[in-house]
């Protein structure tokens, strides 16, 4: 058991860090990009519905795929928001 723990202590430290220091993107930028993708998916779904209702597209399957994709992106955004709020609440409960 102790030998297993000692092996973990010899693991090298991670050299790559995410952040603006080394050319990576910040959390805010990543969140902004994700929200832009959510918006794009919603716009695509809206346009697919409009084209279907106007008779420009007869393939209901494509419309349903666009709607489902937009729904999945929205669910992802809500889950990320929930985790951010949860993390904020956890940090705010920490003693100073």
Q: Where are the domains of the chain?
A: 30-96
96, pLDDT greater than 90: no
Give the pLDDT confidence of 65-82 residue by residue, as tens digits: 999 999 999 999 999 999
pLDDT tens track for 3-29:
555 655 565 665 555 555 656 889 889
CA atoms within 13 A on the CB side of 40: 6
Rounded (10°) angle between helices 27-54 and 60-92: 150
Instruction: Quote the CA–CA distance of 7 and 4 in Å, as a whole number.
Output: 5
């Amino acid at each position: 058991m102790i030998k297993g723990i000692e092996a973990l202590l010899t693991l090298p430290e991670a050299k790559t860090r995410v952040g603006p220091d080394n050319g990576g993107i910040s959390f805010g930028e990543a969140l902004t990009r994700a929200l832009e993708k959510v918006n794009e998916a919603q716009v695509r779904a809206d346009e697919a519905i409009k084209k279907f209702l106007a008779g420009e597209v007869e393939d209901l399957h494509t419309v349903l795929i666009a709607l489902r994709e937009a729904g999945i992106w929205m669910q992802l955004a809500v889950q990320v928001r929930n985790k951010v709020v949860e993390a904020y609440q956890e940090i705010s409960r920490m003693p100073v």
